[in-house]
Chain A
Amino acid sequence: MATRRYVKQALSQWMKADGPDSDVVLSSRVRLARNLRGCPFPMLAAPEQSEDVMDQLLSVAENGRLNGLGPLDLIRLSELTELEKQVLVEKHLISPNLANESRNGALILSQNEDVSVMINEEDHLRIQILRPGFQLREAWEIASKIDDVFEEQVDYAFDESRGYLTSCPTNVGTGIRASVMMHLPALVLTGQINRILSAVTQVGLAVRGIYGEGSEATGNLFQVSNQITLGQSEQEIIENLHQVARQIIEHEKAARMKLVAESRTRIEDRIRRSYGILSHAAIMDSKEAAQRLSDVRLGVHLGMLPQVNEQTLNELLVSTQPGFLQQAYGEPLHPDQRDMTRAELIRSRLAIS
């Protein structure tokens, strides 16, 4: 078996680059949903039909049409273990839907993992671009170029009035879902978060937890994304999300300044306590880890913990997830063992940095 870097390393290469506003925005993401003409959507497709779709789409990469993206991994989901699939979900490289429900599902993954093309998810084709920090426009531009390459090679289901036709009516039109992953500890601490998030939902955007639809917001991480895909152009959708996210960033930064100005010692105490516990605890469940890592992240950005590296925190965000922990350990772990392994991992990573 090949090295399978994508399930061995917690931190994707793309996350190591510096992005704009990375003290608040961890990453920006754009995904486009597309389907092929003349084949039922994956949910209804017969095995031979979905296999044909998979072959057609994989061949676009095999024929070198995507060479501009550098070396690519072509992965059939059937080659992966359940644990490996879970790791890819935890790294946001595939969706839970592709991991759990797809038939003839496949993945085209770039070397630094910023481009992941999902095949036979809810739609035949889903092109996903991840960028570090606040880079929505850049992500859209790359996604659109890859979209053009596929469109040259395969026939898309497109309708003059409805746009790109998708399995779910919530994606029809542009098929675009753009999102930003934001760390908003100061807005949570100052109790402003609910007011801001409810305002966000009133302008056609949605707020979710770190793992998308149905997931809880842990570690003060929020994913803000567009809801409307029909009747607005991609540029309008990106611009709307960009403007709203920009405002949230400014509010968060202002709240951090206020916290430091008004209760510096209290906030520093909280941060140092969390750092102390993470550096010394022997048992750490995922919820506590998420909360304390959020405190430490805030500490890094407030300049209170110069010994901690932001990269380490980004890596721990993935490597402390249940799937990754077990994958790294080499065998399934009982939840108690998992909490011990997690504590050990965090201790060692914080000690090095």
Chain B
Amino acid sequence: MQCQECGKRPATLHFTKIVGGEKTELHICESCAREKGELIPGAQSGFSIHNLLSGFMNFDPTGAGTELKQPAVRCDTCGMTYSQFSKIGRFGCSECYKHFSNRLDPLLKRVHGNTVHSGKVPKRAGGKVKVKREIDELKKHMQNRIEQEDFETAAKLRDRIKELEKEANGG
């Protein structure tokens, strides 16, 4: 069998792709495959997570048709539009998250089952967030102590919360 790309060398690599019952075969030689970057394992799949995501992103939570009436949503910082994002499945820059914010919840919900981060917070960039998290934790703890009628500990926790709140607002 000859290579489908160059038609000169014998085909030594054979790919079969089945998408929705439709079968496509690709028979190519070594050097054409190298050119296409298909030799590197993992890189040869035409169907990536991004294709799958763009399926999710076309999901319109407000009902059919509203998409057309809205002006194009665009990230002011990098210029990417929401429709470009939904095709590529990747953001252009970190500001896209702000500009596309109200459309992201249904997407993130589908991918992660969640919309809000609850993991690690960086020391510098997230200084205030860290304090806020700590305050939330302490408030939960204080509530718990009050329910247990341990008012002495609850009072201590309240003082600590006040201190932290001052720090958060001042800093």
**Within the complex, which residue of A82, A160, A165 is in contact with B126, where a contact is CB–CB below 8 Å?**
A160
Q: Which residues of B contact A232 (CB under 8 A)?
A: 114, 118-119
Chain A, residues 141-185, CB within 8 Å of chain B (1/0): the string is 000100110011001111111111111111011101000000000
B115 at interface, CB cutoff 8 A: yes
Instruction: Tell me the bound Cα distance from A204 to B113 in angstroms.
Output: 10
Instruction: Tell me the bound Cα distance from A175 to B43 in angstroms.
Output: 21
Chain A, residues 33-69, CB within 8 Å of chain B (1/0): the string is 0010101110110000000000000000000000000
Instruction: Tell me the bound Cα distance from A158 to B117 in angstroms.
Output: 10
Q: Do A230 and B114 have beta carbons less than 8 Å apart? A: yes
Q: Do B92 and A158 have beta carbons less than 8 Å apart? A: no
**Within the complex, which residue of B49, B89, B118, B123 is in contact with A231, where a contact is CB–CB below 8 Å?**
B118
Q: Which residues of B contact A155 (CB under 8 A)?
A: 124-125
Give the nearest-CB partner of B110 in chain A.
A169
Q: Do B126 and A158 have beta carbons less than 8 Å apart? A: yes
Interface positions of A from 97 to 128, Cβ below 8 Å from B? 97, 99-100, 122
Given contacts A44-B93, A158-B126, A159-B97, contact A230 B112 (CB under 8 A): yes
Given contacts A40-B93, A169-B53, contact A90 B41 (CB under 8 A): yes
Instruction: Tell me the bound Cα distance from A277 to B108 in angstroms.
Output: 50
Give the nearest-CB partner of A165 in chain B.
B94
A213 at interface, CB cutoff 8 A: yes
A278 at interface, CB cutoff 8 A: no
Give the nearest-CB partner of A35 in chain B.
B94
**Within the complex, which residue of B98, B107, B125 is in contact with A37, where a contact is CB–CB below 8 Å?**
B125
Interface positions of B from 102 to 154, Cβ below 8 Å from A? 104, 107-108, 111-126, 129
**Within the complex, which residue of A44, A152, A234 is in contact with B119, where a contact is CB–CB below 8 Å?**
A234
B168 at interface, CB cutoff 8 A: no
A96 at interface, CB cutoff 8 A: yes
Q: Do A214 and B45 have beta carbons less than 8 Å apart? A: yes
Q: Do B42 and A151 have beta carbons less than 8 Å apart? A: no
The residue in B44, B104, B117, B123 that gathers the most chain A C-beta atoms within 10 A of its C-beta is B117
Given contacts A41-B93, A144-B120, A174-B120, contact A169 B41 (CB under 8 A): no
A228 at interface, CB cutoff 8 A: yes
A19 at interface, CB cutoff 8 A: no
A187 at interface, CB cutoff 8 A: no
A335 at interface, CB cutoff 8 A: yes
Give the nearest-CB partner of A166 in chain B.
B91
Q: Which residues of A contact B121 (CB under 8 A)?
A: 158
Instruction: Tell me the bound Cα distance from A282 to B100 in angstroms.
Output: 59
Q: Do A158 and B53 have beta carbons less than 8 Å apart? A: no
A229 at interface, CB cutoff 8 A: yes
Give the nearest-CB partner of A210 in chain B.
B41
Q: Which residues of A contact B12 (CB under 8 A)?
A: 335
Q: Do A231 and B115 have beta carbons less than 8 Å apart? A: yes
The total of chain A residues at the interface (CB under 8 A) is 63
Q: Do B108 and A44 have beta carbons less than 8 Å apart? A: no
Q: Which residues of A contact B119 (CB under 8 A)?
A: 163, 173-174, 176, 232-234, 237
Give the nearest-CB partner of B100 in chain A.
A169
Binds A, one of B18-26, B32-40, B63-71: B32-40
Q: Do B114 and A122 have beta carbons less than 8 Å apart? A: no
Give the nearest-CB partner of A163 in chain B.
B117
Interface positions of A from 183 to 223, Cβ below 8 Å from B? 204, 210-215
Q: Do B117 and A44 have beta carbons less than 8 Å apart? A: no
Chain A, residues 227-269, CB within 8 Å of chain B (1/0): the string is 0111111100100000000000000000000000000000000
Given contacts A40-B78, A86-B40, A230-B115, contact A168 B90 (CB under 8 A): yes
Instruction: Tell me the bound Cα distance from A318 to B30 in angstroms.
Output: 20
A89 at interface, CB cutoff 8 A: yes
Given contacts A169-B104, A211-B42, A214-B42, contact A233 B120 (CB under 8 A): yes
Q: Shortest Cβ distance from A202 into chain B, in angstroms?
A: 13
**Within the complex, which residue of A37, A147, A161, A212 is in contact with B116, where a contact is CB–CB below 8 Å?**
A161
Q: Do A165 and B120 have beta carbons less than 8 Å apart? A: no
Q: Do A43 and B92 have beta carbons less than 8 Å apart? A: yes
Chain B, residues 57-95, CB within 8 Å of chain A (1/0): the string is 000000000000000000001101000000011111110
Instruction: Tell me the bound Cα distance from A40 to B80 in angstroms.
Output: 11
Q: Which 4 A-B pairs have the closest CB atoms?
A: A231-B114, A163-B117, A214-B45, A157-B94
Sample (10) of A-B pairs whose CB atoms are under 8 Å apart: A89-B42, A96-B42, A97-B43, A158-B121, A159-B94, A162-B97, A162-B117, A173-B117, A214-B45, A232-B118
Chain B residues in contact with chain A, CB under 8 A? 12, 30, 34, 37, 39-45, 47-50, 53, 77-78, 80, 88-94, 97-98, 104, 107-108, 111-126, 129
Name 9 extra pairs, CB < 8 A, besides A151-B123, A156-B122, A230-B108.
A89-B40, A90-B41, A148-B123, A151-B124, A152-B124, A162-B108, A169-B111, A173-B119, A237-B119
